[in-house]
């Protein structure tokens, strides 16, 4: 299997060795790569050769359609989609598909997520203080934050809160 070595220059540190790829019979993820001249492992990460994939959707289980639809529309900012007697929540380039009362989904995960069993993070495009104000305006209690966290785009600042069923939700801002 071919793996690509990607190097990122961080915090003003340089990297002398910049190999573009190498071959291993097993995954090099998590291995010490300090054997490469001038390469410091804290600046490198390994990724499988790029495949034509990206995140599309995941499933959240809710216990009350009306309550959840209002919350996710007003607090999270999703577009509510109704199709064939089922609901989904669309945002940016992904979607939350819903299981709940009256839905007979097939196939199911080996251990289906119960209402309140999800943990999801949404990117807040403005400063985190605006997200704090937004939650307060909707009477949503902030459970934790603002706190420093890492997300899909690197370091950010997050706040944590819960949906009506108790699933943990997070807004992360990368604006500092």
The pLDDT of residue 84 is 86
Range 57-173 has CATH code 3.10.180.10: yes
Residue 140 pLDDT level (bands cut at 50, 70, 90) = very high
The pTM (predicted TM-score) of the whole model is 0.72
What pLDDT digit, counting tens, does each position of 13-31 carry?
Answer: 333 333 333 333 343 444 4
- The per-residue pLDDT for range 79-120, each reduced to its tens digit, is 999 998 899 999 988 999 999 999 988 999 999 999 999 999
Of the two residues 155 and 46, the one the predictor is more confident about is 155
Catalytic residues: 170
**pLDDT at position 44:** 52
pLDDT tens per residue across span 28-54: 444 444 444 444 444 455 556 789 988
Residues 113-125: tens digit of each pLDDT = 999 999 999 999 9
Amino acid 50: pLDDT: 82
How deeply is 93 buried, as exposed, middle or buried, from its count of CB atoms within 10 A (0-12, 13-18, 19+)?
A: exposed
The yes-or-no verdict on residue 76 having pLDDT over 50 is yes
8 A C-beta contact, residue 135 and residue 75: yes
pLDDT of res. 152: 94
Q: What is the mean pLDDT of residues 63-91?
A: 95
pLDDT at residue 5 greater than cutoff 60: no
| pLDDT tops 90 at residue 153 | yes
Mean pLDDT for 149-175 is: 97
Domain spans, the chain: 2-48, 57-173
């Amino acid at each position: 299997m071919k793996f690509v070595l990607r190097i990122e220059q961080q915090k003003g540190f340089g990297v002398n060795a910049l190999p573009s790829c190498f071959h291993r019979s097993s995954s090099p993820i998590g291995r010490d790569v300090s054997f490469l001249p001038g390469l410091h492992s804290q600046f490198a990460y390994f990724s499988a050769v790029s495949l034509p994939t990206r995140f599309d959707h995941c499933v959240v289980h809710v216990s009350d359609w009306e309550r959840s639809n209002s919350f996710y529309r007003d607090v999270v900012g999703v577009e509510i989609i109704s199709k064939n007697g089922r609901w989904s929540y669309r945002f940016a380039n992904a979607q939350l598909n819903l299981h709940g009362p009256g839905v007979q989904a097939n196939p199911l995960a080996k251990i289906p997520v119960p209402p309140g069993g999800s943990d999801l993070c949404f990117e807040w495009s403005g400063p985190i203080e605006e997200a704090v104000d937004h939650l307060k305006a909707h009477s949503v209690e902030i459970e934790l934050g603002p706190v420093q966290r890492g997300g899909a785009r690197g370091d950010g600042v997050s706040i944590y809160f819960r949906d009506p069923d108790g699933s943990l939700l997070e807004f992360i801002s990368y604006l500092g």
